[in-house]
Structure 1
């Protein structure tokens, strides 16, 4: 059995079909039991949740009758009596949508902190999709305050994950609505400024900052916090300069993405420093943590037109590595002559050495762990 309380209360059979719960009192009783995640609740607590400020003359007897009706719908074993006296819903956290949402939102926050915005965004979309309306809609206020606050926090995290992975399509209108609905939420205002900047709308980003500043000053008499203030300083400094075009020769094969790259500046700074002092830099991390995108961005910033990438994931034979790099560098059709006059076409390793010996180049070898010896 599954219990849904992130909206109007529902009970679902194992096949997903809903059980007929009847009136508002039964839905309130089930919500009051489910929100406790299988923990017992006293008769007084349940009566307060179900009847609010207008309890019947004999609230314990009325509640007992209501429990009897609920047992006839769910099955007698679904609601058990506990000492106190009280009642308990026989269900675990995985059976109740509120606790599934909390688990997925927490896992997504951890993935976001670990530098995996793609997984975080997917988890958060699943978690937020569990809401079918206002949380604990069948219980009196303030029962739904906490889950609604968690919902808002998950929404902020989902937007942040999308910004970090460069998925900005649709973010500006969504954040415009959110800043209208929550005019004093600085996180949403900051995300709107960042989304506008990512789309290259520098003037609109400045206007969005000014709108946030006025809203905070007029209503609360406060100035923007550190994040908004820092964004404003960056905007005043102007958009970043465009990368110069190559002076001559073929450009690299790493193409700038259509979406901007945000949120990984510390890693990019570290890579820039490592590349300045080392000929070989290795990125490691779990699958899906964004290593490829980070490597591409770092290579473009450090190598510009001399930045290339060779994708080695499809290779089964380690001996094919030099040929794969030749293909990535577009050298398959080029015949080079060694310094002793012999052609190098049949020796891909020598071909690479000859090509790379006298020219600056930054090469990303992506997904190379399975052919690392080669």
Structure 2
């Protein structure tokens, strides 16, 4: 069985046939178990998160009933009792979130190792797993979902870095522009856009964009551009904004959970 939590929670059989998982609480339970695929999740954690901090009077009985429904949906052996809780009988790679994290790590290593083509392949595979907001069926996705969304942004930034290194600045520019509009304070991302503009024969536009960024940072944060942006600006003034020197792919991304962590 395969499980998807990068979007609405879904389950599919090995042949690709979808398994309907009906009911918001049932999908929330499956999401929580999939996050720690192959590991026990304490009953108290499941109750607290499935019922969003407002458990029913008979929380133990309600959870047992919900687990029973999930077993009838997925198969009797899909969820086992373990160590004061329940465990999804699956390998981490059976869950799209953990598969994404593995492919992302492979791609980032390849990019750091100077192989943008290999990086692009792994990062494309990783990003293709996303179908919507992470952990969409949790009642309160909170900080956990935010960390995975930050990881996704890091991977998108890295993929665009690979594109510039491969001489694909023109193709990358529309995505870069849209991402920069959505994340105006992400300086490494903004630096990539400036380099892409220069690489597509628009250095004057890149210099104007740098000026806009400098004013925006001053007005919003009261700060000057950081070292990544300043380095790009210096290169632009010299006429040497090499897209291969695109800078760090994840300099402002916070730590993210490893497979199975929340």
Task: Report the TM-score, using the length of structure 1 for normalisation.
Answer: 0.63
| Residue in 2 that maps onto 1:82 | 82
Q: Deviations over 1:171-194 (max 9, x none)?
A: 222111111111111111000000
Distance in 2 of aligned mates of 1:171 and 1:210: 22
| Residue in 2 that maps onto 1:263 | 245
SS in 2 for 1:262: helix
Distance in 2 of aligned mates of 1:36 and 1:193: 40
Runs of 4 or more consecutive aligned structure 1 residues displaced over 6 Å after TM superposition:
none
SS in 2 for 1:170: helix
| Residue in 2 that maps onto 1:250 | none
- Computing the radius of gyration from Cα coordinates, the structure with the larger value is 1
SS in 2 for 1:6: coil
Q: Does structure 2 retain, via aligned residues, the 8 Å contact 1:192–1:208? A: no
Give the unaligned 5+ runs of structure 2. Answer: 248-262
Distance in 1 of aligned mates of 2:67 and 2:79: 8
| Residue in 1 that maps onto 2:12 | 12
Q: Does structure 1 retain, via aligned residues, the 8 Å contact 2:170–2:196? A: no
Q: Deviations over 1:288-333 (max 9, x none)?
A: xxxxxxxxxxxxxxxxxxxxxxxxxxxxxxxxxxxxxxxxxxxxxx
C-alpha displacement of 1:262: 2.1
- Aligned positions of 1:121-270 closer than 5 A: 121-139=120-138, 140-142=140-142, 143-238=144-239, 262-263=244-245
| Residue in 1 that maps onto 2:31 | 31
C-alpha displacement of 1:128: 0.5
User: What is the root-mean-square deviation in Å for CA atoms of aligned residues?
Assistant: 1.7
Q: Does structure 2 retain, via aligned residues, the 8 Å contact 1:189–1:208? A: no
Q: Does structure 1 retain, via aligned residues, the 8 Å contact 2:165–2:244? A: yes
Q: Deviations over 1:254-279 (max 9, x none)?
A: xxxxxx762399xxxxxxxxxxxxxx
Distance in 2 of aligned mates of 1:26 and 1:132: 20
Q: Does structure 2 retain, via aligned residues, the 8 Å contact 1:202–1:239? A: no
Distance in 1 of aligned mates of 2:64 and 2:57: 13
| Residue in 1 that maps onto 2:260 | none
Q: Does structure 2 retain, via aligned residues, the 8 Å contact 1:5–1:97? A: yes
Q: Does structure 2 retain, via aligned residues, the 8 Å contact 1:5–1:31? A: yes
Give the unaligned 5+ runs of structure 1. Answer: 241-259, 266-374
- Aligned positions of 1:303-318 closer than 5 A: none
Kindly indicate which of the two structures has a greater share of residues assigned to helix.
2
Q: Does structure 1 retain, via aligned residues, the 8 Å contact 2:195–2:243? A: no
- Aligned positions of 1:61-72 closer than 5 A: 61-72=61-72
Q: Deviations over 1:35-88 (max 9, x none)?
A: 0122101111011221113322222211110000000011111100012x2000
Distance in 2 of aligned mates of 1:141 and 1:109: 26
Greater relative contact order (CA < 8 Å, ≥ 6 in sequence)? 2
SS in 1 for 2:225: coil
SS in 1 for 2:8: coil
